[in-house]
Structure 1
Amino acid sequence: MSDADDDQRGRKTRQRLGRKKTSNLTERLDGGEKDMPNTPAPGFSRLEAVSTSLESISIPPRTPRSGRTPVRQNGGLLNGYSADLRESDNEVEISLLTEDERRSAASAQFSDTLGPDDPKRPLTAKDKHGMVLLVVLYLIQGVPLGLALGSVPFLLREHLSYSQLAIFALAQYPYSLKLLWSPIVDAIFLPNVGRRKSWIIPMQLIIGSLMLWIANNVQVLLDSPAENIHMLTFLFVSLVFFSATQDIAVDGWALTLLSKENLSYASTCQTIGLNTGYFASFTVFLALNSEAFTEKWGIPLLTLSTYLRFWSVVSYVVTFWLIFLKKEDKPSPEDEDLDLKKVYETIWRICKLPHVQSLIILHFIAKVGFQANEAVTSLKLVEKGLGREDLALAVLIDFPCQIIGSYFAANWSNHGKGGPLRPWLGAFWVRLSFALAWTLIVRGLPAPPFSNAFFSFLVAMTVLQGFSVTVQFVGMNAFHTRISDPRIGGTYMTLLNTFSNLGGTWPRYFVLKGVDFFSVATCKVKEGASEIFVEASECVSDAGKSECAAIGGECITARDGYYIVSAICMTLGAVLLVCYIAPVSRRLQALPVTKWHVK
């Protein structure tokens, strides 16, 4: 037999094997075992909200964009709900906002890198138009978040007790629970309208209408906030819910609005839009709503009603532009094959992995030690004389510092020795120390007005604590990126970030309730030469002080529950760190990546 015959037979054999291998791969894909390239899943979610030591200002955590968006590999739908995978260990996709709810935006800009085989190409006109649209859509989303999670709690603080503020804190939950309905947003749509516009248009119409209704009735609600606390909570829970749903659709639309080579700019658009809306509603609004600030600078006072009406009009204008002038690319036939049942089954299979269950427990208890500091400290500072506009200014200074800090945090977490959870653990003790330091600062806060030196000290403390929050946020999300199964990377990342966000959300209600529970307040009434002390249910809010004043008394706080709750949180956090968090995190980080994959 000639050498030529041998070569020909060899080629035929290799062709038959190639066809057989392709056939087997197709069968696995059709059966749900969708093999994806061995590339890392997308990076960090925004989501978590980032809170400074002057807490309550948090951009709620958002789940990863890729976790909700079907993408194609070789023309097919991968697991119906997969991730846009890149060849880079450092890629970050921000997702906002709960505790640690704001740093995601900062880390995304600096960590979103592409591998050497996936270079960025020059921006086309389509990319530039898509980026402008994404910034505007994220801006609309950030406005209600800044109100619900930032400004409104400070406006209500003067009129409500901490227990009543705990009820309003429930407005944070929809952003931490988006995973529950995000597959539905991806699966159900009107083909004639568009996969994303089918959700964005009605959500923004509802957001605009709801803000307009609140604007017309907010004065009545704020005149008696204690009596209307449940109505206020319902309104802002609804507002955040619709914003979170709009966010799911916008994240998905980013994958088609931008070219594949420039998808990384989506996180930049999110950073700019979301944080601009958030800080406009928090930092800027609080300053312009302050009588002291507006009188000092000679500008008109901005009321909440006027602010809401303005953004309601903006929401309507953008929505009508989307309806009549912006066309969405028609979905391909494969887009209709998203299997909701498979998505939820995948989520359940991930949750049944024993190592994932240990990680979920760690997430639920890891942020307990910081909760008193992040939920109450800023409110206490305002209660003791720090102006709302000063607080907003401190946060405004802190934000660009954290953008710079997140660059170093990302390098440390991704390239440092010991894995990404080593800096996360190191920053844990630092963060607990800052919680103690802020408790002592509140205890010894001097009477206003504050000197420039003291205010600079408060800003420095805010920035330094913010860096410890950033290190923890980036480190944990780097760990999520490392362990996520690349075949279902988006679903996996979304699930892990959901539990991480909930870990910073669920304790807040109980912390705020605990402050009132442990506080002892009395109403001191003078009758002639004698003084009578009458026990008061609460002598902190304007309502409690008014009741005391009505009988000719003065509120005296004999014991402030804030210090007790702060001590409980810090002690519990330290014990949990030593006994569970540290050893479990080291054990989980030492596991091979394959242990985290579902079969």
Structure 2
Amino acid sequence: MTAHSDSPPSSSSRRRTAKKKRSSTPSTKEGMPSRSPRALSTSLESIQINPRTPKTPRSNDRRWPREDDVDEVELSLLGEDERRQAADGMGLEEEMDYVSQPPKKSVSSKDKSAIVLLVILYLIQGFPLGLALGSVPFLLREHLSYSQLAIFSLASYPYSLKLLWSPIVDSYFFRSIGRRKSWILPMQLVIGTVMLLISFRAEEYMNHPAEHIYEISLAFTGLVTFSATQDIAVDGWALTLLSEENLSYASTCQTIGLNTGFFASFTVFLAFNSESFAHKWGIPRLTLGTYLQFCSLFSFGVTIWLLFKKEDKETSEEDINIKTVYKTMWNICKLKHVQILCLMHLLAKIAWAANDAATQLKMVEKGLGREDLAIAVLIDFPFQILGGYVAGRWSRGDKPLRPWMIAFGPRLVLALVATLTVFWFPKPPITIAFFAFLVIQTVLSSFAGTIQFGGIASFHTRISDPVVGGTYMTLLATFTNLGGTWPRFFVLKGVDAFSIATCNIKAAGQQLSVKAAECVSEHGKQACKDLGGECITERDGYYIVSAICMGVGTLLVVFYLIPTARKLQALPASKWRVYT
């Protein structure tokens, strides 16, 4: 998974958001489910983290911009001395406050405590996500075909679709428990319980996954769904846990916590689960069952700790119910330019869909050690952070999609290089020089992806209607995530569909060739070997699927995506407004 963050909201937006959160809400009976008017927080892509944008309050007359907003923009165009003179001339204290910003305050002990809490809550999400989207597919690869892996890949879908039920999480709660804890506490208990139950049969699942593929897929789909629901509640709690001047730390907490949990379940676990790694360092091999039990106990422990953590009451002066939120989403979707942008998102990642879904699996199949892969991903992590910083600076100005469009070229070339690397992959053990080449290739591909994400996130920030900012941003982020999620199932299915493999068995002086789709998996190859045969792959469907994806993707990039992006980027902000 790659990690990205967007630029924090402006100070004026944070002041308006904080003010909105501290106003009054309709009272309900104690202990009964309450319906809250507050709507959505934004969220993450499989391996990518989407920016958390506090929702901008809705003006009473639903017009944007207001007169005072226009005055502020006009004033900001003046120089420092001119602004001060204009403020003096008009006698407006607000403009003087705009010119003379107070010095930044240090982080208070309360905010430090809130930051620790948020990092831990996001960490709990990272544990199951790292397993479902990272390490488990590599463990299953030794026993399953790509078609069976395609079934398991459906477990990642709920995290990209959580927008569909996030208004419910924001609107219903028990007042006696707290708006956010009403969802966080049960979700963490369920996450811990499901991981504990899986741990008891983990070895059976990993040794004979073909017999339990639907059971495994259902279990991890549930884990991802519960983690996504907990994420919605944590996102909302972050806006009130942190003080007004430190709201920007919410995204930092998510980046640290979620990625730490993800890499623990992917990079660290994959390395310590390797028998060769354990033998090399003289340590016991870490089994999936043991790791799941650790994650389960951690989740239970944090849940018990939260019982003693008081949640401040959230209030709102706006009467926005769940029906209003869904209606707002529909109004946004009806905008012609939003429909074009969403279609662009769904098609934007087809070019490297095969590379993202199957290349690393193929490298492991060719002989790349799981611990080597884990090390490569670990080295890549700091470069992702650097890429996010570069993308943020590059996306400033009136052409935020420029880095997104420019990065298409490097990503297409790197996808081709990755396919050729699989084709010419050397027999193990691999040399240090080749491993360094793999690391460089991984870093460059991830860096280009981070640049693209920074550009598109900046564009979302620019076009989102401030009146419904949170809902708008979350909707666009959902389609961005789906663009990388939906092709995975079809790519993995296609690898098997286009592959031709036979099991050549020599018996009684005769040679028998049997077409065997199972020969694409390590388990199938071993079964053929047990019969005295040898698996021969006559045609590897990976290369065909990769060629189709890159061919179709290149045509889309040249003739649709880039021309469309240029047109959308040139549109005035008024074209993206829901309320005028």
SS of residue matched to 1:228:
helix
Q: Secondary structure at 2:418's aligned position in 1?
A: helix
Question: 2:562 and 2:121 mapped to 1: Cα distance?
Answer: 40
Q: CA separation in 1, counterparts of 2:290 and 2:100?
A: 50
Equivalent-residue separation in structure 2 for 1:410 and 1:249 (angstroms): 27
The whole-number CA distance in structure 2 between the counterparts of 1:566 and 1:132 is 43
Is 1:331 aligned to 2:314, yes or no? yes
Instruction: Tell me by how many angstroms 1:472 deviates.
Output: 0.7
Other-structure match for 1:363 = 345
Secondary structure at the residue paired with 2:518? coil
- Identify the residue that residue 283 of structure 2 maps to in structure 1: 299
Picking from 451, 476, 481, the partner of 1:471 is 451
TM-score normalised by L of structure 2:
0.84
Aligned counterpart, 2:371? 389
Instruction: Work out whether 1:376 is the aligned partner of 2:376.
Output: no
Q: Which runs of 5+ in 2 are unaligned?
A: 1-40, 64-68, 74-97
Give SS of 2:303's match: helix
Deviation per CA, 1:285-325, whole angstroms, max 9, x where unpaired? 001101111111111111111111111111111101111x1
- Pair 1:341 & 2:323 matched: yes
1:401 aligns with 2:383: yes
Matched, 1:487 2:470: no
Taking the TM superposition and a 5 Å limit, the aligned residue runs for 1:123-162 are 123-162=107-146
1:504 counterpart = 2:472: no
Residue segments in structure 1 that go unaligned for 5+ positions in a row: 1-43, 50-58, 80-84, 89-113
Amino acid at match of 2:138: F
Q: Residue type of the partner of 1:237?
A: T
With normalisation by structure 1, the TM-score equals: 0.81
Q: CA–CA distance in 2 between the matches of 1:253 and 1:245?
A: 13
Superposition pairs for residues 203-352 of structure 1, below 5 Å? Answer: 203-323=187-307, 325-332=308-315, 334=317, 337-352=319-334
1:198 is aligned, of 182, 185, 201, to 182
Q: Given the superposition, is the C-alpha separation of residues 296 and 344 from structure 1 closer, same or farther in structure 2, using an over 3 Å criterion?
A: same
Alpha-carbon separation, structure 2, partners of 1:542 and 1:232: 19
Residues 498, 333 of structure 1: alpha-carbon distance in 2 compared, 3 angstrom cutoff: closer
Q: Would the aligned equivalents of 1:376 and 1:562 in 2 still touch at CA under 8 Å?
A: yes
From the superposition, tell whether residues 562 and 333 of structure 1 become closer, same or farther in structure 2 (CA, over 3 Å): closer
AA partner of residue 205 (structure 1): L
Q: CA RMSD in A?
A: 2.4
- 1:381-460 paired onto structure 2 within 5 Å: 381-415=363-397, 419-460=399-440
Provide the rounded CA distance (Å) in 1 between the counterparts of 2:61 and 2:203.
50
In the alignment, which residue of structure 1 is the partner of 2:45?
Answer: 48
Q: Is the 8 A contact 2:391 2:454 kept in 1?
A: yes
* 1:558 corresponds to which of 517, 529, 538: 538
Q: Tell me, what secondary structure is at the counterpart of 1:300?
A: coil
**Distance between the aligned counterparts of 1:118 and 1:243, measured in 2?**
39
- Kindly provide the CA deviation profile for residues 126-157 of structure 1, in whole angstroms up to 9, marking residues without a partner as x: 10111110011011111110011001001100
Structure-2 separation of matches of 1:466 and 1:331: 39
Q: Would the alpha carbon gap of residues 350 and 115 (structure 1) be closer, same or farther in structure 2, given more than 3 Å must change? A: farther
2:211 alignment partner, SS class: coil
Q: 1:377 to 1:119 in 2, by over 3 A?
A: farther
Instruction: Give CA deviations for 1:426-481 in whole Å, capped at 9, x if unaligned.
Output: 11121011110000011001111111111111101111111110111111111111
Deviation at 1:409, TM superposition (A): 1.8
- Kindly provide the CA deviation profile for residues 171-215 of structure 1, in whole angstroms up to 9, marking residues without a partner as x: 111110011011111100011100100000000000011111011
| Residues 61 and 176, structure 1, Cα contact 8 Å, conserved in 2 | no
- Residues 42, 53 of structure 2: 8 Å contact kept: no
AA partner of residue 259 (structure 2): N
- Measured at CA, do residues 78 and 151 of structure 1 come closer, stay the same or move farther in structure 2, by a change above 3 Å? farther
How far is 1:121 from its partner? 2.0
Cα distance in structure 2, aligned partners of 1:156 and 1:593: 48
Number of the residue aligned with 1:189: 173
Q: In structure 1, how many angstroms separate the alpha carbons of the residues matched to 2:499 and 2:393? A: 44
